[in-house]
Structure 1
């Protein structure tokens, strides 16, 4: 089985790369399992001060793997995404997202859970769940606390696409820069983190994310069950199958 997530460590930084390009880095069961393992590896490595989450291919993450979702039985998948967001939020090392390409639906949960998000200003975003008879239930755990309420209402309810500048204004992204400046902007963040002590980073992150983690712990099982019910509904399954058929036709 080909690995879908890679881990490289250099200069105190663990770079974790999503590499499931055949489905635009969708959150398949295999990808979520491997990403969880790579994050745990980085957390346990005493040489790692911080983590960069990146992706290969033109798309950062397309959201849930609809080919899996259309088959039903999504409750464990939903719980896995809850646990993954919690792991990112509680990792004892800062997680910086290098966002080079589009991110949709479930992929925004990774963005919301991270500590710093640097995006190319060409990146687009969308909470597309409503257009598939779903709701952004599981990822609301981490995105709602980051975004202002009016922005969340508009983007969640319309499913519309918005750009990186809007994502910064909404509170979802830390900074948007030109694509050719992306690596430099990420490195500037990492240079700042390298000036800190591990204990300082760990304890400061815990302070910053205390409310977020409490929200995950209080609501995680509820939204996982809600998500599973929605994914298995006749309306959503018909919508997903129609989407997959349109995608197949190009």
Structure 2
């Protein structure tokens, strides 16, 4: 079964996360297939830019708790999005949770509809937003991130744009996206590649400095007793034992 749909129009390759039965959760298989699709886009001179979108009502629900990718595989995918020498533009028309927010922050530009919602739910299942911090911390307002990391609160698209998680949001996401795509189609491939390298440099420094430590932290937390309780409670649709 194909987990990532691919279409192309005037040099823009659209990659669609297409696993709506589990809300496009980041399974090992989905992470691997998306990485392969991005590699193909990077090697194809006919691709000027990549749009990353989704089917169903959820961009991504975060890690697949039944088949999670190894932390280093998710690190590799996030780094690949940041490093690929073509703009990657997120198009969101649904909900984004946990690891899905790291995927969104890895993209160079993010646009969404106004009915999209966002939440860092890790603390509610006994883990921390460790690996995804590699893309989030360099690009998002630190005070807002502290609030949403620590509370797991849900927030809306205008707030996501205010704190730097999104570039823009609007009633019609494709109307928001249109001038972005027009811009990259008018830009030279060489200029896009070099400009992206300028923009990505500080984020890649974070990967070089912190990826190993955050990967180890993620692995340790996911194997902990509190994480087992939190994930079991989530799957059983009940509160975990620590809720007051």
Question: Normalising by the residue count of structure 1, what TM-score does the alignment of the two structures yield?
Answer: 0.93
Measured in 1, the distance between the counterparts of 2:144 and 2:91 equals 22
- Which protein, 1 or 2, shows the higher relative CO under an 8 Å CA cutoff with sep ≥ 6? 1
State how many pairs are aligned: 238
4+ long deviations beyond 2 Å: none
2:242 alignment counterpart:
none
1:185 alignment counterpart:
176
CA RMSD of aligned residues (A): 1.0
> How many angstroms does 1:184 deviate by?
2.0
2:26 alignment counterpart:
27
Measured in 2, the distance between the counterparts of 1:188 and 1:158 equals 35
Give the alignment of 1:41-120 within 5 angstroms: 41-69=40-68, 77-120=70-113
> How many angstroms does 1:36 deviate by?
0.2
Q: Does residue 202 of structure 1 match 2:193?
A: yes
Unaligned runs of 5+ residues in structure 2 are 239-244
Q: Alignment partner of 2:70: what SS?
A: helix
> How many angstroms does 1:68 deviate by?
2.4
Give the alignment of 1:98-177 within 5 angstroms: 98-177=91-170
Contact kept in structure 2, 1:6 and 1:38, CA below 8 Å: no
Measured in 2, the distance between the counterparts of 1:55 and 1:8 equals 12
Unaligned runs of 5+ residues in structure 1 are 70-75
Q: Alignment partner of 1:150: what SS?
A: helix
2:222 alignment counterpart:
231
Measured in 1, the distance between the counterparts of 2:199 and 2:24 equals 29
Higher helix share: 1
> How many angstroms does 1:218 deviate by?
1.4
Q: Deviations over 1:4-52 (max 9, x none)?
A: 1122222100100000111100000000000000011111111000000
Contact kept in structure 2, 1:85 and 1:113, CA below 8 Å: yes
